[in-house]
């Protein structure tokens, strides 16, 4: 059975079917989102949206910003966990934190986060001796943490309140609850699978040792905490009335976020927004749109600006250090040459 699956995956890769299928899915998701947005935003009063932003309590914005900061802080443990998992305990936490924060914030905004985030990570970790394969393993393990957390949040959340997912996918609640139980079952099966004995994926130098059972549970907890903080930030910014409860907003938020990732559009632009507007249809559109815009500023734009500044300062500092090392090396090489020239001069003059 496993050999048949491997052959099927190999065939799909060789014929680039998976790549083409991924592009088709992204285009389809973006197209549907654009259609939905066009109909949802018709008749929106821009002045009311601006007024809703102005009327948002500063304390609510500050609290949302605090939750966003907590979420990004949790993200740093994605990289800390992944780097430790590949055996590089010599890399300090501050480097893990910089790599995680900048790679995710830039990847979220630029899009195609697998490539953009990976490039940022490589630039940072290569200075600590990690090669491209090791950085790829870090990206894989960090991504695994993210998806395990998403599976746990969606599975548990939809099983508890399937109507929230129905607001987005328009499927019967019983079907969503069944799907949630299947997600939970798959998650439990995976944990048991890696708990029984060491598991590896990949071939040759690309082989990755999967974290065991206890570490996988830690991965799931990290992912849940990260998504929980992000969902709290959104919950604080959406309208108070009608009060749908945190669980409903969290399920819709995570679902919208995953759809945004599937589209590969920068920041899930359009796709995330359409899903939120459809899922939270009970709320006033202008007020909801105001909250979503504030969330984008806090979660996407502000971290992106901070990341660019941090990476710029880092490059300047590294460039200055490299210049000083070259100057010191050049000065060290000049002195022996002067002594050799002086010795030759003495020989030539018979001194």
Which tens digits make up the pLDDT trace of 207-219?
Answer: 888 888 888 888 8
Question: pLDDT class for 236, splitting at 50, 70, 90?
Answer: very high
- Give the pairing of strands 208-209 and 200-201: antiparallel
Q: For residue 2, what pLDDT band results from cuts at 50, 70 and 90?
A: very low
Q: What are the tens digits of pLDDT across the range 323-333?
A: 777 777 666 65
Give the pLDDT band of residue 65 (cuts 50, 70, 90).
Answer: very high
Highest mean pLDDT among 35-39, 182-186, 317-321: 182-186
What φ, ψ does residue 227 adopt, rounded to 5°? -65, -35
More confident residue, 75 or 261: 75
pLDDT at 106: 85
Residue 24: its pLDDT value, please? 58
pLDDT band for position 341 (50/70/90)? low
Contact 300/233 with Cβ under 8 angstroms?
A: no
CA distance 87 to 29: 39
Kindly indicate the confidence band of residue 234, based on its pLDDT and cuts at 50, 70 and 90. very high
Collect contacts of 311-314 with beta carbons under 8 A, ≥24 apart.
Answer: 311/102, 311/120, 311/123, 314/98, 314/124
In this predicted structure, what is the pLDDT of residue 98? 92
Model confidence band, residue 12 (pLDDT cutoffs 50, 70, 90): very low
What is the pLDDT at residue 28? Answer: 61
Cis bond leading into 175, ω under 30°? no
| Model confidence band, residue 229 (pLDDT cutoffs 50, 70, 90) | very high
Looking from the CA of 63 toward its CB, the CA atoms found within 13 Å total 13
Question: DSSP alpha helices (H): ranges in 56-201?
Answer: 58-85, 93-110, 113-125, 132-160, 162-169, 173-196
pLDDT (average), residues 126-143: 88
| pLDDT score for 188 | 92
Mean pLDDT, rounded, of the chain? 79
DSSP structural state of residue 267: G
Query: Which pLDDT belongs to residue 337?
Result: 54
What integer pLDDT is reported at residue 67 of this predicted model?
Answer: 95
Average pLDDT over residues 275-302: 86
* CA 325 distance to own-chain centroid: 36
- Residue 102 confidence (pLDDT) above 80: yes
Does the pLDDT of residue 344 top 70, yes or no?
A: no
For the CA atoms of 175, 181, 185, 187, the dihedral, rounded to the nearest 10 degrees, stands at 100
Q: Is residue 275 within 8 Å of 40, Cβ to Cβ?
A: no
Contact 72, 101 (CB under 8 A): yes
Instruction: Choose between 178 and 300: higher pLDDT.
Output: 178
Q: Coil, strand, or helix at residue 229?
A: helix
What does the pLDDT read at residue 1?
40
First to last CA, the chain: 88
Give 113 or 101, the one with higher predicted confidence.
101
CA 246/CA 255 separation, integer angstroms: 14
């Amino acid at each position: 059975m496993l050999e048949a699956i491997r052959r099927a995956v190999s065939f799909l890769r060789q014929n680039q079917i998976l790549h083409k299928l991924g592009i088709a899915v992204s285009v389809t998701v973006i197209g549907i989102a654009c259609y939905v947005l066009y109909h949802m935003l018709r008749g929106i009063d821009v002045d009311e949206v601006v007024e809703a932003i102005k009327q948002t309590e500063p304390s609510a914005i500050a609290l949302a910003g605090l939750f966003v900061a907590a979420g990004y802080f949790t993200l740093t443990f994605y990289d800390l966990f992944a780097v430790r998992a590949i055996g590089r305990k010599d890399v300090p936490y501050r480097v893990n934190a910089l790599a995680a924060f900048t790679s995710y914030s830039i990847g979220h905004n630029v899009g195609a986060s697998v490539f953009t985030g990976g490039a940022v990570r490589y630039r940072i970790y290569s200075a600590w001796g990690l090669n491209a394969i090791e950085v790829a393993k870090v990206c894989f393990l960090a991504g695994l943490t993210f998806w395990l957390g998403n599976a746990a949040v969606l599975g548990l959340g939809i099983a508890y309140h399937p109507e929230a997912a129905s607001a987005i996918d328009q499927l019967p609640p019983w079907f969503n609850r069944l799907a949630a139980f299947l997600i939970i079952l798959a998650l439990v099966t995976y944990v048991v699978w890696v708990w029984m004995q060491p598991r590896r994926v990949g071939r040759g130098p690309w082989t990755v040792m999967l974290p065991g059972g206890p570490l996988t549970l830690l991965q799931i907890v990290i992912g849940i905490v990260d998504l929980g903080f992000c969902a709290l930030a959104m919950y604080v910014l959406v309208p108070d009335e009608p009060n749908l409860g945190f669980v409903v907003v969290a399920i819709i938020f995570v679902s919208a976020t995953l759809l945004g990732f599937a589209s590969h559009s920068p920041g899930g632009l359009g796709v995330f927004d359409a899903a939120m507007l459809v899922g939270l249809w009970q709320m006033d559109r202008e007020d909801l749109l105001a909250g979503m815009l504030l969330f984008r500023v806090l979660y996407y734009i502000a971290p992106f600006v901070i990341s660019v500044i941090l990476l710029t300062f880092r490059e300047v500092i590294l460039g200055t250090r490299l210049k000083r090392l070259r100057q010191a090396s050049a000065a060290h090489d000049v002195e022996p040459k002067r002594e050799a020239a002086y010795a030759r001069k003495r020989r030539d003059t018979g001194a």
